[in-house]
């Protein structure tokens, strides 16, 4: 026989998706935000100099088989006031690409561009993305044809640019992933922390590997690709894994909230 408590539960009418909402758990939201996200952010602000120090070391040793020790160095540049600067690797000076190499790039870019804008591919999101990337690359090619001496960056400049941008990405991602898991998440703090750590681990790994690969390309292939790498394979791609890992978290939230176990997460209207 049922007890009275079981009957009491039936007093609720379980409404449809139209006006249901999730219960706010302010305690766990605040605990997570103030004891995890904000401390993490503060620690990062005071340690990004050290992080870039080690990152530069890592890049140095990874590039050592391809560049001599004399060609590389580690320097410190100012970045955010109060929190300090960043370390980055210095690399050999840029030699402007020769015209044949630029022309080959131009022709190749043009072919890709034509492929993207012709036939059924025209107007497809991927084609538009590639067209825009190719456009940036063509601008770069034209620049190097007409004004190679005025190109404002050395490889070392780019290295500095990259590190500053990467620290910007980490700061933004710490804030964005902290906010979305704190305020747009439900359920255990553990799962939120898991998501947060996964995003940041991915971000650190991706940022470091990309740095080494980009420096390698610039030093060993051509500086011509600098703009393409900066604009097309920069922060835009970082958002992809942020969205994906958050998606995995939301997927879990949906599974729980739609199960018998998760009925308690809902409130009505």
Partner 1 sequence: MGMVLAVLKGYFIFSIVIILIYAFRHFIFAYNRAFGRQRLFYNDIIASDMPTISILIPMHNEEKVLKFALESLLECDYDRDRMEIIPINDNSKDKTKEMLDEYHSRYHFIRPLHRDCSNRGKPAGLNDAMKTARGEIIIVFDADYRPAKNMLNQLALAFLDPEVGAVMGRVIPYNTDKNLLTRLLNLERSGGYQADQQARYNLRLIPQYGGTVGGFRKSLMLESGGFDTAVLAEDTELTFRLYINGWKVVYANSAECYEEVPETWAVRAKQVRRWSRGHNSVCFRYIIPTILTKNMYPREKIDGILLLLVYAMPFMLALALLDSLALFFLGEMNVWSGWFVLLFVGAYNTYGNFAPFYEISSALIIDGVKKDVLLLPLLTFNFYFYLWNVSLGFLDAMVDLVSRRKVKWDKTVRFTEESGQVV
Partner 2 sequence: MGMIVLIFAFTMLLFFPLLGGYVAYKKNNSQTLVIKQDRSKNPRYFADAFIKLFEEKWINYDGSGKLKFSHEESIIEADKTALYKSKCDSVVYAEKIDFNPEPTGIQFYKEIYVKKNAYLRGVIQLRAIACLSNVLIGENTEIIRWADAQNELIVLDNCDLGISTTSGNELIIGINCLFRRLYAPVIYIGQKPEQKWSAYNTIDKKILYLVPKTETKRNLKYIDKFLINESGIAEFSVVSKRNVTVVENIIVQGSIRSHKGIRICDGVIVCGNLFAEGNIVLGKNVCVLGSIFTQGDIIVESRVMIGQKNKIVSIVARGRIEFSENSVVYGNVSCEGGGKISKWLE
Contact set with partner 1 (CB under 8 A): 16-24, 79-80, 123-126, 128-129, 132, 136, 139, 143, 151-153, 157, 160-162, 164-165, 167-169, 171-172, 176, 179-180, 183-184, 186, 227, 230-231, 234-236, 238-241, 243-244, 246-248, 250-251, 253-255, 257-258, 269
Spatial contact of 106 and 138, defined as CB atoms under 8 Å apart: yes
Q: State the minimum distance, in angstroms, from the CB of residue 7 to partner 1.
A: 25
Of 63 and 116, CB closest to partner 1: 116
Q: State the minimum distance, in angstroms, from the CB of residue 2 to partner 1.
A: 28
Which residues, 59 to 88, sit near partner 2 by CB under 8 A?
Answer: 62, 65-66
Helix ranges (DSSP H) in 147-185: 155-183
CA–CA separation, 136 and 232 (whole Å):
8
CA–CA separation, 140 and 86 (whole Å):
27
99: left (phi over 0), alpha (psi -120 to 50) or beta: alpha
Binding mask 167-206 for partner 2 (x = CB under 8 A): -----------------------------------x--xx
Query: Beta strand pairing status for 73-80 and 84-90?
Result: antiparallel
Choose, by CB under 8 A, the member of 83, 135, 151, 233 that binds partner 2. Answer: 233
Q: State the minimum distance, in angstroms, from the CB of residue 229 to partner 2.
A: 11
Neighbouring residues of 219: CB distance < 8 A, sequence distance ≥ 6 = 63, 66, 67, 91, 92, 155
Of 102 and 200, CB closest to partner 2: 200
**Is residue 236 at the binding interface for partner 2, with CB under 8 A as the rule?**
no
Spatial contact of 85 and 56, defined as CB atoms under 8 Å apart: no
**Is residue 244 at the binding interface for partner 2, with CB under 8 A as the rule?**
yes
Spatial contact of 218 and 91, defined as CB atoms under 8 Å apart: yes
Of 46 and 244, CB closest to partner 2: 244
Q: Say which entry of partner 1, partner 2, none residue 260 contacts (CB below 5 to 8 A, set by partner kind).
A: none
Spatial contact of 195 and 178, defined as CB atoms under 8 Å apart: no
């Amino acid at each position: 026989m049922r007890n009275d408590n079981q009957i009491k539960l039936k007093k609720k009418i379980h409404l449809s998706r139209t006006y249901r909402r999730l219960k706010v758990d302010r305690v766990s939201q605040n605990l997570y935000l103030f004891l995890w996200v904000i401390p993490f952010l503060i620690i990062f602000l005071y340690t990004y100099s050290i992080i870039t120090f080690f990152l530069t070391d890592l890049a140095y040793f990874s590039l050592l088989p391809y560049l001599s020790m004399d060609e590389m160095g580690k320097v410190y540049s100012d970045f955010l006031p109060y929190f300090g600067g960043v370390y980055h690797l210095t690399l050999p000076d840029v030699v402007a690409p020769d015209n044949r190499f630029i022309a080959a790039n131009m022709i190749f870019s043009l072919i890709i561009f034509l492929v993207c804008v012709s036939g059924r591919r025209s107007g497809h999101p991927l084609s538009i993305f590639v067209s825009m990337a190719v456009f940036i690359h063509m601008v770069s090619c034209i620049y190097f044809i007409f004004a190679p001496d005025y190109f404002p960056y050395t490889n070392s400049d780019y290295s500095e640019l990259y590190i500053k941008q990467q620290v910007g990405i980490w700061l933004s991602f710490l804030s964005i992933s902290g906010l979305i898991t704190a305020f747009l998440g439900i359920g255990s703090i553990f799962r939120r922390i898991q998501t947060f750590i996964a995003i940041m681990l991915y971000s650190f790994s991706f940022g470091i590997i990309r740095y080494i690969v980009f420096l390698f390309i610039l030093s060993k292939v051509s500086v011509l690709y600098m703009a393409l790498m900066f604009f097309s394979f920069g922060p835009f791609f970082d958002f992809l894994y942020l969205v994906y890992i958050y998606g995995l978290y939301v997927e879990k939230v949906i599974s729980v909230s739609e199960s018998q176990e998760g009925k308690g997460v809902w409130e009505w209207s």
